[in-house]
Amino acid sequence: MTTSATITLPTGQTLKIPTGLFIDNKFVPAAKGGTFDTINPSTEEVICCVAEATAEDIDLAVSSSRRAFTTTWGQNVLGTERARLINKLADLMERDQQMLAELEAYDNGKPVRIARDGDIADSIACLRYYAGWADKLTGQTISSTGPTKFNFTREEPIGVCGQIIPWNYPIMMWAWKTGPALATGCTVVMKPSELTPLTALKLCELVQEAGFPAGVLNCVPGLGPVGGAALASHPDVNKIAFTGSTETGRKIMEASAKSNLKKVSLELGGKSPSLVFESADLEKAAAWALMGATYNSGQDCTCGSRVYVQSSVYDKFLSIMKVKVEEYHIGDGFDSKSSAGPLISKAQFDKVNAYIQSGIDEGATPFIYSPKTERRGYFVEPVVFSDVKSDMKIVQEEIFGPVLSVGRFETEAEAIALANDSKYGLGAAVYSSDGGQCIRVSSSIAAGTVWINQYGLLSNQAPFGGYKMSGIGRELGSYALAEYTAVKSVLWNVGDEPYWPL
C-alpha cells in the first residue's frame, strides 16, 4: 500500500497528504495491509483510503513511544527543549493554517473560515500555552517532618499516553491532548477518528519538520472497536485520554481496569441547558442560544440543546429566535456564507432525523422545521421544538445535531431543577441582568462549565470537563497538567537518627 495520496480540494488546489500510519517518525502501511475510506460529508464522495491500524500496529506504536520516553524524551529532555519544539510545531501550524483549514473542511465538512479562525487558531494558541508550562512544573518541599528530615515532591511525566480523539473537532482535540502531554514529558500514541483522519496525519508531517525525536508522537488511525480498544487495554500504556460518547467512555474505563489500571480522563456526552430569565436581553440571549445549539451543526458535546425560558417572555423569545434561524445558513464548508456544514456521516444524519421524528411523535411542536430534502450531502437545517416535556427523548438524550427544544419555567427554583434534570453535566448557560441571580443559579447547576450571558466560548487557560456522566478529569488550563503527571514523594534522612523502631 502507498502511504500518501494526492487530492484535489474544491478550490482546485491539489494537495499531497499522508495516508499511512505514523510510527517512529515514518509513514508506514498497516501491518495487515488494511485500509478504510474517508468520506467528504458535503458530497458523500470518497476522498481517499487510509491505513487501518490493528492491535499489531498499536503494539509497534506503543513500543516506539516507550523507547522515546525512556531515552530521548521524558525526564531526559529539559523543559526548555520541550517548549522549543512545541513552539516550533505551533509556528508550522500557523504557517500552514489555511491549508489545514481547507483539509479540515474537506474531511469534516465544517466551514473553512470557522476551521481556520476558530479551531486551528485556538489549537495554535493551545500549544503555545502548554509550551509555556514545559519548564515550570514544580514540586513542594515539606518541612513538617522535622529538622533532620528532608521531604520533597516531584511531578514526573506519567509515561506513554494513548489519546483517542473524536471527529467533531479533529485538530482542536489533537492540540488539547498533545499540548499538556508533550509539555510534561509524556509520549503520545494518537488514535484519530476513522471519520476524520486526514488532518491528524498531516500534522504528523509538521511533527517531523519541527524536529521531534522519533516515537514522541505516533499516530494510528483505525476503527475504534479495533485500534481504540487495543490502545485502551494495552498493558504498556500509562494513561488514556478520550473524548467521545459516554457509552464508549464506559468501555475504556473497563478496559483500563482489566489491563493495568491505567490513568483515565474522559470528556463525554452532554445535554446542556440554557436558562433565560425575564430580565435578560432577549435579543442577545436568543442569538447566543441559537449559536450554542447549532454551532458545528450541533455536533458538540456542550451543545445547548435544552433552553428553558421564563413564561413571561417565552413567546417573545421564540419570535426572536425564529428571525435569527432564518438568517442561518447551512452549506458547504467552502461556501463563505455558511454558518455550519453537514453532519459527519450517513449514520449521524439518520440518527438526528430519527430524533426529530421522535419529537414530533411524542407531541412536541416543531416551531421551526424544514423537512429533509434530496439534497446531496448530510445536511440538516436547524430545528426548534416548543412545548416540550421533560420526559421526551429530544429533551433527555444527546442528539449531536442542530435540534433545540424550548421549554418554560415560572420560578428560579424550577429553572434550576429543570437544568439539573439530566444524567449529564458538561455545560450550561444563564441569561439574566440580575448579578445575584447569576451567582445563585450558576452555583446551583451541576455542570463543569457555566456560561453567563454568552455560550460556548472557552479559554486555553480555563479548565474544561464534566460532572456526572459527562466524564472525569479536566482538559485545558493548569488543571490538565495533573492528568499527565505522577506525584512522587521523596523522604530523606539527613541526620544520624538510629533505625526506627528500635
Catalytic residues: 267
Handedness of CA 448, 454, 457, 458 (dihedral sign): negative
Alpha-carbon distance 7 to 82, whole Å?
34
Q: Which amino acid does the sequence have at 113?
A: R
Alpha-carbon distance 179 to 479, whole Å?
13
Q: What are 468's three cell numbers?
A: 456526572
Q: What are 218's three cell numbers?
A: 505516533
Alpha-carbon distance 185 to 166, whole Å?
24
CB 243 within 8 A of CB 300: no
Q: Which residues contact 273 (CB under 8 A, 6 or more apart)?
A: 304, 306, 307, 308, 418, 419, 422, 428, 429, 445
Element (DSSP H or E) covering residue 16: strand 14-18
Q: Which residues contact 220 (CB under 8 A, 6 or more apart)?
A: 21, 22, 23, 53, 57, 58, 61, 189, 190, 191, 227, 231
Alpha-carbon distance 47 to 57, whole Å?
23
Q: What are 270's three cell numbers?
A: 452532554
| Parallel, antiparallel or unpaired: strands 383-386 and 365-368 | antiparallel
Q: What phi and psi values does residue 352 have, to the nearest 5 degrees?
A: -65, -45
Q: What angle do CA 190, 193, 196 make, to 5 degrees?
A: 115
Q: Where are the alpha helices (DSSP H) in 73-169?
A: 79-95, 97-108, 112-114, 121-133
Alpha-carbon distance 418 to 275, whole Å?
9
Q: Which residues contact 47 (CB under 8 A, 6 or more apart)?
A: 7, 37, 38, 39, 40, 106, 107, 198
Q: What are 307's three cell numbers?
A: 433552553
CA–chain centroid gap for 363, Å, is 33
Alpha-carbon distance 224 to 457, whole Å?
29
Half-sphere exposure of 280 (CA within 13 A, CB side): 31
